[in-house]
């Protein structure tokens, strides 16, 4: 009797402890951080999340910031993105029109999570909104974090340009979104958020098209059950069905499971010729790929940009990553032309390595924000509405407009394949707008 | 109402229902389960065997960790939350040793002697660590309210996790695959491989040795006496503190052995793995009857089989979305209908 009571009590307490434990991802190196160092007239953002103010020779009149996960698996990529933003500001002499700008790079991740953290996203957003010097934000990296930050910034009409959010519901309703989106993120009813990367409707459509091209007939879909992962998995399913591809299942992989052997057995017995992995490499992706390839060696793996940087996938899965296809936005950086090529060359010269595809998008996001500040000055609402008049000709990632939802009109998706532990460019897929919108 | 209350001072769900309902529900569940497994076995025997072997292997690892929970619970009635993290640190140590000894690609006698050496090192490490935890965090709280050591146990768990976070980072630590993967025998077209057999070859002797230790030796008698009545056993001349330390030492050694098997078989370990596996193992211990040693292993097998079959079978299977719900749903069912766990009404000290 005593025994059973205590067993139950202990179990209840255990459950509470489990609920209280934050979710964990991957990654881990410490952030270099920095002191809050201040400029003259502007007030710096809190040093708990943000690095020192980077500026040119003149003291800034206004601030912009970036909000990226600077710790974890994506650290190498996100610090490079922050460098690219600084590089763009530098090339504009830290000015947008008459406004002299300072820039702070802020971190929305924690070491424990190894990726973005919801509490940090919310507190960062409040810091941006409450800082009167802030005129615009470049971010976020993760769609889940953007969900939290957009409404807070929207109340203060603070402009936001994301280089990497691909979840469709942030800007529009339709395929792959939840009911009430996107209006739930804009309490004032006036938009303040735009992105220079396409949303996942393009990516889902492109993945489905590519799957058809390489002859996949029966696809087993897995998702990591997060905003991004479930969203892209559902979109892939939707577009693939339209193309006549048979979807055998769409189920989750538990990111905390110790092995996926039994899941691999199911994939094998289902007779699938391909597996689409809707999710991010951080969610135990390396082990997942290893186990699938061990249990069902003949299936072709296909993943969206959650598996980038591709080097992280290769590092996590080793030889099992070979032959996997992974899509990324835009075209490979070595195929950029005009302003894009200038950026890539200049960046490579200054930092000693070629930028990642997403780094080019960070630079493009900075250009878009600077152009809006040039029109709107230090008036937050004017900067926000100027975002939607963006019309870039021969920009870093190409020519495009930002539509009234805040989405880019540029729909190029690149497919890469892992070969002998190296990423190699396969082709670019540009899904027709009618196919995408017809969802 | 009043008479009923007198008859049933602690009305339970089972108590309010007619007598035949509870066994009937139980039989129904078992029949449904048997039908489900049977149909799947007939439809795709190869997959069934494959999943059975996967479940058997994972279950052995869960069982090894669960044994440690059960031992400590049996003697102190304390859920040692840090146990899973001791196991995780053991796994991390093995990961470090595998890469620093450069074992990838080795085989034969050298490999086996190195694995044995690693086993000794990691068992000693975890045993000492677990004993130290008892000394630092639990011993002084022995007469404190029961919640106090429970909270320090959760605290120790977080401390160990953070140690691992600093040591290895938040990314999963990959371990070189060094166990031989050749097949031992084939059933229904499915190969049973050496790496799976090795896991069983560890677990079964460990369980037998542990049972012998608890039931047949002087030290085991002291453990059982301490579990039954600490004060009385002290009066009988048993060194209670040393007996409890010894229990923690043994439990730590088990965690170390499980850490070695996990690192070598799963080849992937994360800083928060201990918490997750600890939760599964604790559930296994409760399912089997906490304090009951064979029950702990049985519980581990049951949970691993559910996981494996539910993730892998194809006929009328809920699939991986539901695995956790099913495992914990089962826990609730077992606790409601059979609070003492699967292996009956034995007392915690029964071994």
Flag if A111 and B165 touch (Cβ within 8 Å): yes
pLDDT of residue B299: 93
pLDDT, average across residues B330-338: 82
Q: CA B308, CA B305: separation in Å to the nearest integer?
A: 5
Which of A138, A432, A423 lies closest to A303, judged by CA?
A423
Contact A127, A158 (CB under 8 A): no
pLDDT, average across residues B327-340: 83
Task: Assign residue A195 a region (left: φ > 0; alpha: ψ between -120 and 50; beta: otherwise).
Answer: beta
Torsion of CA B75, B76, B82, B87, to 10 degrees: 0
| Residues A254-272: tens digit of each pLDDT | 888 888 999 999 999 899 9
To the nearest 10 degrees (0 to 180), the angle between helices B108-133 and B82-101 is 150
| Residues B252-271: tens digit of each pLDDT | 999 999 999 999 999 889 89
Which of A204, A141, A135, A127 lies closest to A170, judged by CA?
A141
Preceding omega of B66 cis (within 30 degrees of 0): no
Give me the percent of chain B exceeding a pLDDT of 90.
47
Flag if B54 and A73 touch (Cβ within 8 Å): no
Preceding omega of A140 cis (within 30 degrees of 0): yes
User: ipTM for the complex?
Assistant: 0.81
User: Residue A4 is nearest to which of B273, B314, B339, comparing CB atoms?
Assistant: B339
Q: CA A343, CA A391: separation in Å to the nearest integer?
A: 19
- Looking at chain A, which residue has its C-alpha nearest residue B46? A269
pLDDT of residue B97: 94
**B309 touching A (Cβ < 8 Å):** yes
Chain A partners of B266 at a C-beta cutoff of 8 Å? 258-259, 287
CA B5, B7, B12, B16 dihedral sign is: negative
Higher pLDDT, residue B12 or B342: B342
Element (H, E) at A304: none
Task: Tell me which residues of chain A have a pLDDT lower than 50.
Answer: 1-6, 8-9, 11-25, 27-39
Flag if B170 and A269 touch (Cβ within 8 Å): no
User: Residue A14 is nearest to which of B47, B168, B282, comparing CB atoms?
Assistant: B282
pLDDT of residue B12: 58
Confidence of residue B67 (pLDDT cuts 50, 70, 90): very high
pLDDT of residue A298: 93
Which of A222, A192, A355, A195 lies closest to B319, judged by CA?
A222
| Residues B172-221: tens digit of each pLDDT | 888 888 888 888 888 877 888 888 999 998 889 988 999 999 989 999 99
Instruction: Sort strands A246-252 and A218-223 into parallel, antiparallel or unpaired.
Output: parallel
| Residues B15-55: tens digit of each pLDDT | 566 778 777 888 888 899 899 899 988 888 888 998 999 99
3-state DSSP helix/strand/coil percent for chain A, to nearest 5?
40, 20, 40
Contact B269, B91 (CB under 8 A): yes
> How close, in Å, is residue B148 to chain A by CA atoms?
12
Q: CA A280, CA A278: separation in Å to the nearest integer?
A: 7
pLDDT, average across residues B106-132: 92
| Residues B153-171: tens digit of each pLDDT | 999 999 999 999 999 888 8
Query: Residues 6 or more apart from A204 whose CB is under 8 A from it?
Result: A175, A176, A232, A234, A235, A236, A238, A239, A304
Flag if A258 and B268 touch (Cβ within 8 Å): yes
Contact A293, A260 (CB under 8 A): no
Q: CA A261, CA A17: separation in Å to the nearest integer?
A: 28
Chain B contacts in chain A segment 326-355 (CB below 8 A): none
Neighbours of B267 (CB within 10 A): 23
- Looking at chain B, which residue has its C-alpha nearest residue A15? B279
pLDDT, average across residues B82-99: 95
Contact B304, B56 (CB under 8 A): yes
Q: What is the 3-state secondary structure (H, E, C) of chain B?
A: CHHHHHHCCCCCHHHHCCCCHHHHHHHHHHHHHHHHHHHHHHHCHHHHHHHHHHHHHHHHHHHHHHHHHHHHHHHHCCCCCHHHHHHHHHHHHHHHHHHHHCCCCCCHHHHHHHHHHHHHHHHHHHHHHHHHHHHHHHHHHCCCCCHHHHHHHHHHHHHHHHHHHHHHCCCCEECCCCCCCCEEEEECCEEEEHHHHHHHHHHHHHHHHHHHHHHHCHHHHHHHHHHHCHHHHHHCCCCHHHHHHHHHHHHHHHHHHHHHHHHHHHCEECCCHHHHHHHHHHHHHHHHCCCCHHHHHHHHHHHHHHHHHHHHCCCCCCCHHHHHHHHHHHHHHHHHHCCCCCCCCCCHHHC
> How close, in Å, is residue B131 to chain A by CA atoms?
22
Which of B16, B70, B53 lies closest to B301, judged by CA?
B53
Q: CA A123, CA A101: separation in Å to the nearest integer?
A: 23
């Amino acid at each position: 009797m005593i025994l059973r009571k205590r067993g139950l009590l202990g179990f209840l307490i255990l459950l509470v402890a489990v609920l209280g434990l934050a979710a964990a991802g991957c990654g881990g190196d410490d952030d270099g951080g920095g002191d809050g160092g201040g400029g003259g007239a502007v007030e710096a953002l809190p040093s708990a999340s943000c690095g020192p103010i980077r500026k040119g020779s003149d003291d800034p009149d206004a601030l912009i910031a970036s909000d990226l996960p600077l710790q974890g698996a994506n650290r190498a990529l996100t610090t490079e993105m922050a460098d690219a933003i600084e590089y763009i500001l530098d090339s504009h002499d830290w000015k947008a029109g008459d406004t002299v700008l300072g820039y702070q790079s802020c971190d929305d991740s924690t070491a424990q999570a190894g990726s973005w953290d919801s509490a940090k996203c919310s507190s960062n957003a409040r810091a941006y909104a409450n800082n009167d010097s802030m005129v615009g934000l470049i971010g976020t990296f993760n769609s889940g974090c953007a969900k939290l930050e957009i409404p807070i910034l929207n109340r203060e009409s603070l402009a936001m340009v994301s280089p990497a959010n691909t979840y469709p519901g942030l800007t529009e309703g339709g395929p792959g979104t939840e009911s009430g989106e996107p209006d739930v993120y804009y309490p004032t009813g006036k938009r303040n958020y735009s992105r220079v990367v396409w949303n996942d409707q393009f990516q889902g459509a492109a993945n489905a098209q590519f799957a058809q091209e390489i002859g996949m007939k029966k696809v087993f879909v897995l998702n990591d059950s997060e905003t991004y992962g479930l969203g892209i998995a559902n979109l892939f399913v939707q577009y693939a069905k339209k193309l006549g591809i048979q979807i055998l299942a769409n189920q989750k992989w538990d990111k905390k499971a110790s092995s996926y052997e039994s899941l691999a057995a199911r994939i094998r017995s289902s007779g699938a010729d391909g597996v689409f992995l809707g999710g991010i490499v951080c969610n135990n992706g390396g082990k997942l790929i290893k186990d699938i390839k061990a249990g069902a060696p003949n299936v072709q793996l296909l993943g969206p940009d959650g598996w980038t940087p591709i080097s992280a996938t290769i590092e996590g899965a080793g030889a099992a990553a070979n032959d996997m296809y992974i899509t990324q936005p835009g075209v490979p950086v070595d195929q950029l032309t005009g302003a894009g090529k200038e950026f890539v060359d200049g960046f490579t010269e200054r930092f000693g390595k070629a930028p990642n595809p997403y780094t080019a998008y960070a630079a493009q996001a900075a250009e878009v924000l600077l152009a809006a500040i040039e029109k709107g000055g230090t008036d937050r609402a004017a900067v926000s509405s100027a975002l939607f008049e963006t019309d870039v000709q021969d920009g870093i990632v190409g020519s495009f407009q930002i539509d009234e939802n805040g989405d880019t009109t540029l729909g190029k998706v690149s497919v890469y394949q892992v070969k002998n532990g190296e990423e190699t460019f396969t082709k670019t897929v540009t899904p027709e707008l009618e196919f995408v919108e017809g969802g | 109402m009043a008479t009923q209350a007198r008859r049933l001072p602690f009305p339970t769900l089972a108590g309010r229902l007619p007598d035949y309902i509870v066994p009937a529900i139980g039989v129904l569940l078992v029949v449904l389960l048997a039908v489900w497994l049977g149909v799947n076995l007939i439809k795709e025997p190869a997959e069934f065997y494959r999943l059975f072997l996967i479940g058997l292997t994972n279950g052995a690892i869960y069982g090894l960790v669960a044994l440690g929970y059960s031992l400590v619970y049996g003697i102190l009635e304390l859920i040692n939350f840090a146990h899973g993290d001791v196991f995780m640190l053991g796994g991390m140590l093995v990961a470090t040793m595998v890469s620093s000894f450069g074992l990838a690609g080795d085989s034969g006698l050298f490999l086996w002697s190195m694995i044995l050496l690693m086993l000794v090192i990691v068992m000693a490490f975890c045993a000492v660590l677990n004993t130290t935890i008892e000394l630092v965090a639990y011993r002084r709280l022995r007469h404190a309210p029961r919640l106090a050591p429970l909270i320090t146990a959760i605290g120790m768990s977080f401390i160990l996790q953070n140690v691992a976070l600093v040591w290895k980072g938040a990314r999963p630590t990959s371990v070189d695959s060094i166990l031989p993967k050749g097949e031992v025998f084939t059933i229904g077209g499915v190969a049973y491989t050496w790496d799976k057999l090795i896991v069983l070859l560890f677990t079964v002797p460990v369980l037998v040795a542990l049972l012998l230790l608890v039931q047949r030796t002087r030290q085991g008698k002291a453990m059982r006496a301490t579990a039954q009545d600490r004060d009385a056993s002290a009066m009988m001349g048993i060194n209670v503190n040393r007996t409890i330390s010894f229990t923690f030492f043994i439990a730590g050694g088990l965690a170390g052995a499980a850490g070695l098997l996990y690192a070598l078989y799963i080849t992937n370990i994360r800083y928060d793995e201990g918490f997750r596996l600890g939760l599964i193992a604790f559930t296994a211990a409760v399912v089997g009857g906490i304090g009951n040693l064979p029950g702990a292993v049985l519980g581990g097998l049951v949970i691993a089989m559910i996981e494996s079959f539910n993730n892998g079978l194809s006929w009328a299977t809920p699939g991986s979305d539901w695995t956790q719900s099913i495992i914990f749903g089962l826990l609730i069912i077992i606790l409601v209908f059979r609070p003492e766990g699967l292996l009956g009404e034995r007392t915690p000290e029964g071994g």
